[in-house]
Structure 1
Amino acid sequence: MEPRVALVAGEASGDLLAGLLLGGMRQRWPGLQAAGIGGPRMAENGFQAWWPHDKLSVRGYVEVLRHYREIVGIRRQLRERLLRERPQLFIGVDAPDFNLDLEVDLRAAGLRTVHFVCPSIWAWRPERIEKIRRACDHVLCIFPFEPDLLARHGVAATYVGHPLANVIPMEADKAAARVALGLPVDGEVVAILPGSRKSEIHALARRFLDAAALVRRSRPAVTWIVPALPALRPAIDAAVQAAGLAGVVKVLDGQSHLALAACDVTLIASGTATLEAALFKRPMVIAYAMNTISWHMMRRQQLQPWVGLPNILCEQFVVPELLQHDATPQALATSLLEWLDAPARMAAVQQTFTELHQRLRRDTATLATDAIQQVIEG
């Protein structure tokens, strides 16, 4: 019997992960029916979106409060529909603030639940483990240390590897990526990735572009590229203009993976994209900024000295992090130049990222589908 499942994925990174998961599930169950909240990658795998994934693309306490009524309304309507239609399984893909509460309610009503991507209880908000235990029949973990941590708290979990480690090649073809983007094959290329949310573009895009303008003073030959989601393109174009870089910075329509393959170094917002950059073996400068109140609340709950995923996974500052008030254009520019001026340092971090890639590469789709099948049949 082909299963009926519901999924919720928020923002672009969750849509990508869920799309990869659905691809594996559909190989096993060609007649799979899947619906809920998702984006274009999920739609490519036959997913029916009742709401678009970008409705949940909000980060930071204050930012969430601004959208609170709409998000709560969507969750209430979704819960009522799922309890009425009763799919065989609900899969929450990341978005823990939205999904865990929903999973608690669904599981209490007898529906089976799986959460894909363990919430970062090892980084902040360790109290979430109690909610995870009530919310999830099973957790699919993308980092190797997570199942043991969850098992100590009575939560069943499986390490499935990180899906991106299979999508991104072990050795990206830099020259081919540059040709595909119409860039010079020779010379230095810097990719600017200021985030995938409106709030991130507002907080970071101008800082990043002002940093590019500073770097140009000593390195005028550097080529600058910025991959932009369609919905964020106008804001990024405006930031390019305001920084005086019109005609200098090439804004791409999406194509973030090609941009990372093509570049030598990236200036990048903290988030999943930093792991993508590490898998492409690219040295980076990680930065982040948000509403001041949100920032102070998150800092109080932080359990580790690192914020960027590459540093967390390597358990050391292998790449610089410039956060909140430290993320000034001058500091960002200095950190970029320190990479460009040190080829031996760049080679060393590339080797570190190769080892990380090998640890994260597993047959994610099969391992995840095996675990899901056990939950459905259990």
Structure 2
Amino acid sequence: MPLRVGLVAGEPSGDLLASRVISGLQQAAPGAVCEGIGGPAMQAAGFDAWHPMHALTVFGYVDAFKRLPGLLRIYGDVRRRWESSPPDVFVGVDAPDFNLRLEERLKAAGIPTIHFVGPSIWAWRYERIERIRRAVSHMLVLFPFEVEIYRKEGIPVTCVGHPLAANIPMRPDRLAARARLGLDPDARILAILPGSRSSEIRQLAPRFLEAARILLRRDPALRFVVPMVNAERRREFEACLREVPLPNCHIIDRAPEPAEGQAEHGGAWPAAWHVMEASDAVLVASGTATLEAALFKRPMVISYVLTPLMRRIMEWKSGQSRPYVPWVGLPNVLAHDFVVPELLQDDATPAALAEASWRALTDAQYAASVEQTFTDMHRSLALDTAQLVAQAILTEAGRVP
């Protein structure tokens, strides 16, 4: 009988992760059948999607509440299908609110469960460890420091590295990236990444643009490049740009043709990767983009601003007024140090953002130190993720000789 694997991914990042897992699994177990909830990358890898991934993709608590009936219907459908016809193993990719609930039911029904991408219990809501213990047969984490957390709680765990570390080159080529984007090879360039959600654009773009205007007074030749994930985000950013005009600002919402050699680093890149590679420094919203900027070895300034309502909701849900750790940005969390500055909430003033960005752009000794730290970090994350995940799936399914 071919190996049968249930999979649920609920975000674009999870879709990409899961697609590589499927490819690795099919190499390790030819004929393996993967089914459940996923996106276009998973389907391109041969996944049987019962429901589209976007049905689970929600942005914030208000959106989740509005879509709760549909989410419950999908949850009930996949749970009943797998309980009546159990797969050899179930793999939940990120999306912890949905997947941990599902994993708990499936594990109770005797189905081995794997959770891929550990929730950030090291920062928020450590009490979730109790549900994880009930729900998860084997936890797969992206970062080495997470292993000890689960080991001490008696939960089987494997660090599988971060796929981004294999997809981003160890030595980025700034000049080649500028040539692809049609940018001046000799210009000083600041990449501005105000986030991929409407709420992030609203909160961060005006501050980032005001900071850029301050920088422009220091260096009128400074160039700004802003990648956008889609046309809708571009329209929202351009609305901010009309309120805070910025000369020398170049917006990119479509990646150039893949460069020679990119196939060995994950194929076509998103526009943001080209921009990061081309830049001298990055002003960025906290999130996965901070790790991407670190893997491109760029000095950065990390920022984030929550509305008062969202902050109250987060504090209510987590029971915390701040994370357990003193850092928010992933590069700093991994380094256990403030390698790059974090300007959050009231500290995210245009003047402070400009001052920190100026140092990132102009202090060569500082930039070299950051580059070395990020190079070491890149090496620590560069594991064969697809092979390690496939091995864990085969082991839990009892298919390893």
- TM (norm. structure 2) is 0.87
Amino acid at match of 1:347: A
Distance 1:307 1:229 in 2: 22
Q: Deviations over 1:119-146 (max 9, x none)?
A: 1121221101101111111111111122
- Give the 5 Å matches for 1:16-27: 16-27=16-27
Deviation at residue 246 of structure 1 after TM alignment: 7.5
Rate the CA distance shift 1:342–1:247 in 2: closer, same or farther, 3 A: closer
Residue 235 of structure 1 is matched in structure 2 by 236
* Residue type at the aligned position of 1:290: L
Q: What residue identity is the alignment partner of 2:302?
A: I
Q: 2:214·2:354 contact (CA, 8 Å) conserved in 1?
A: yes
Q: Is 1:168 paired with 2:168?
A: yes
Match of 2:364 in 1: 343
1:44 counterpart residue number: 44
1:58 deviates by 3.7
Equivalents in 2 of 1:48, 1:232: separation in Å?
A: 30
- Does residue 373 (structure 1) correspond to residue 394 (structure 2)? The answer is yes
CA–CA distance in structure 2, aligned partners of residues 50 and 354 of structure 1 = 41
1:324 alignment counterpart: 345
Distance, in Å, in 2 between the alignment partners of 1:143 and 1:256 is: 23
| Residues 1:226 and 1:42: Cα distance change in structure 2 (over 3 Å) | farther
The CA distance in 1 between the partners of 2:112 and 2:60, in whole Å, is 29
Q: Does the aligned pair in 2 maintain the 1:12–1:196 contact within 8 Å? A: no
Residue aligned with 2:90, SS: strand
1:70-119: CA deviations, max 9, x gaps? 43443333323333443322211112122111111121222221100111
The residue identity in structure 2 corresponding to 1:32 is A
Instruction: State the match for 1:86 in structure 2.
Output: 86
Q: 1:186-238 CA deviation, whole Å, 9 max, x = no partner?
A: 21122222222333233223322332233222222222222222253332333
Structure 2 SS opposite 1:226: strand
Distance of 1:199 and 1:74 partners within structure 2: 26
The runs of 5 or more residues in structure 2 that have no matched partner are 255-269
How far off is 1:369 after superposition? 1.0
Question: What do the CA deviations read for 1:37-57 (whole angstroms, capped 9, x no partner)?
Answer: 333332332224344434444
Q: Is residue 163–residue 382 contact of structure 2 (8 Å, CA) maintained in 1? A: yes
Secondary structure of residue in 2 paired with 1:377: coil
Change (3 A) 1:267 1:52: farther
Question: In the alignment, does 2:96 pair up with 1:96?
Answer: yes
CA distance in 1, matches of 2:339, 2:77: 44
Shift of 1:245: 3.4
Answering whether residue 274 of structure 2 is matched by residue 273 of structure 1, we say no
Give the whole-Å Cα distance in 1 for the aligned partners of 2:322 and 2:84: 37
> In structure 2, how many angstroms separate the alpha carbons of the residues matched to 1:55 and 1:46?
19
Aligned pairs (5 A) from 1:78-157: 78-157=78-157
Give 1:352's aligned residue.
373
**Match of 1:176, as an amino acid?**
A
Asked whether the 8 Å contact 2:228–2:251 carries over to 1, the reply is: no
**Secondary structure of 2:338's aligned partner:** coil
Residue 285 (structure 1) aligned with residue 286 (structure 2): no
Partner of 2:276: 260
**Deviation string, structure 1 residues 265-293 (Cα, Å, up to 9, x no partner):** 11111111111111110111111122324
Offset of residue 62 of structure 1: 5.0
- 1:237/1:251 contact within 8 Å kept: no
1-structure distance, mates of 2:64, 2:346 = 22
Counterpart position of 2:249: 248
Q: Deviations over 1:317-358 (max 9, x none)?
A: 111111122222232222111211211111110101011111
Q: Per the alignment, do residues 5 and 312 of structure 1 end up closer, same or farther by CA in structure 2, a change over 3 Å counting?
A: same
1:313 to 334, 350, 359: 334
TM-fit CA distance, 1:66: 4.6
Residue number among 385, 390, 401 corresponding to 1:364 in the alignment = 385
Letter of the aligned partner of 2:236 in structure 1?
A
Output the TM-score relative to the length of structure 1.
0.92
**In structure 2, do the counterparts of structure 1 residues 258 and 23 end up closer, same or farther at CA, with 3 Å as the change threshold?**
farther
The alpha-carbon deviation at position 59 of structure 1 amounts to 5.2
Alignment of structure 1 residues 192-203 onto 2, 5 Å: 192-203=192-203
Structure-1 separation of matches of 2:333 and 2:133: 24
> Which residue of structure 2 aligns with residue 185 of structure 1?
185
Q: Could you tell me how far apart the structure 2 residues matched to 1:143 and 1:251 are?
A: 31
Contact 1:208 1:332 in 2 (8 A): yes
- CA shift at 1:373, angstroms? 0.6
Q: Distance in 2 between matches of 1:32 and 1:209?
A: 49
Counterparts in 2 of 1:376 and 1:359: CA distance versus 1, 3 Å? same
Aligned-CA RMSD value: 2.2
Measured in 1, the distance between the counterparts of 2:387 and 2:374 equals 24
Q: What amino acid maps onto 1:199 in structure 2?
A: S
Other structure's SS at 1:20 match = helix
Letter in 2 for 1:160: V
Cα distance in 1 between the residues matched to 2:38 and 2:242:
33
Unmatched tracts of structure 1, length 5 or more? none
Taking a change above 3 Å as real, the CA distance of residues 69 and 327 of structure 1, as seen in their structure-2 partners, is farther
Q: Please state how far the C-alpha of 1:67 moved relative to its aligned partner.
A: 4.2
Distance 1:48 1:205 in 2: 39
Identity of aligned residues (%): 48
Q: Distance in 1 between matches of 2:199 and 2:385?
A: 31
